[in-house]
Structure 1
């Protein structure tokens, strides 16, 4: 399955959050979220809730794995380190660091429009292909 199509056109949560995949190579994906008022912590500030950055990172990780095996696998564990608040659009670069028969590891760098690091993640994802199909994706 085409990763751009899957994540830009057939991913309801990503659409709700505003995730856009902008670049795909095997094992590597870039994307962004354009910060909108509904992403903010309050109605008096334009400061993204941490879940927005996490949602982008987790979505990009799934897309990076899908670029290797054709389908995203479920998240098993993710560590996120926030380094500065997001007050504008959030950009991400996800790279598969390890791809195994049972699990994969993906690292994501989150950046602002000035290429300042907002945060990083390192996640573990299920890669369990059964007869060339991921049993967790319908």
Structure 2
């Protein structure tokens, strides 16, 4: 299955948040979230909850890894540095920094519509298959 199709059409959490993967090949993924009222931290302001940019970065990182091996692996650890609040649409790019037989390391950077950096992440993800299957996306 195509990586973009898997993430845009068969990823309920991503669909719920409005995550859109626009590119995913050769260890690089790009995408966005169009900020809406349900992403807000409070009713009185349009300011994204911190989980919104984190979810985009984590999803892009999984898509970047999937573009290398064909399937996303589970997140093992992620560090996120929030650099400014997200008050509008969030765009991002994730790049596989290291791909190994057991784990991969991915860095992601998120920006607003003006190109200002919102957040940066560095995450570690599981890469290997178990008995020829990815237990996190293949069901019995």
Pairwise TM-score range, normalised by the shorter structure: over 0.9
Secondary structure, counterpart of 2:45 in structure 1: coil
Q: Distance in 2 between matches of 1:133 and 1:60?
A: 21
TM value normalised by structure 1: 0.97
- Conserved in 2, the CA contact under 8 Å of 1:101 and 1:129? no
Check if 1:44 corresponds to 2:51. Answer: no
1:20-78 deviation line (CA, Å, top 9, x unaligned): 01112210000000000000000100000000000000010111110000100000000
Q: In structure 2, what is the equivalent of residue 57 of structure 1?
A: 57
Once the two structures are TM-superposed, the CA of residue 129 in structure 1 deviates from its matched residue by 1.9
Once the two structures are TM-superposed, the CA of residue 137 in structure 1 deviates from its matched residue by 2.0
Secondary structure, counterpart of 2:81 in structure 1: strand
Q: In structure 2, what is the equivalent of residue 73 of structure 1?
A: 73
Q: Distance in 2 between matches of 1:136 and 1:86?
A: 30
Q: In structure 2, what is the equivalent of residue 125 of structure 1?
A: 125
Unpaired segments ≥5 residues, structure 2? none
1:64-105 deviation line (CA, Å, top 9, x unaligned): 110000100000000000000000000010000000000000
- Conserved in 2, the CA contact under 8 Å of 1:8 and 1:20? yes
Q: Distance in 2 between matches of 1:55 and 1:132?
A: 28
Aligned pair count? 138
Q: Distance in 2 between matches of 1:51 and 1:130?
A: 30
Unpaired segments ≥5 residues, structure 1? none
RMSD: 0.9
Secondary structure, counterpart of 1:62 in structure 2: helix
Once the two structures are TM-superposed, the CA of residue 132 in structure 1 deviates from its matched residue by 4.1
Check if 1:29 corresponds to 2:9. Answer: no
Secondary structure, counterpart of 1:46 in structure 2: strand
Which consecutive aligned stretches of 4+ in structure 1 deviate over 4 angstroms post-superposition? none
Once the two structures are TM-superposed, the CA of residue 128 in structure 1 deviates from its matched residue by 1.4
- Conserved in 2, the CA contact under 8 Å of 1:33 and 1:90? yes
Once the two structures are TM-superposed, the CA of residue 131 in structure 1 deviates from its matched residue by 4.7
Once the two structures are TM-superposed, the CA of residue 130 in structure 1 deviates from its matched residue by 3.3
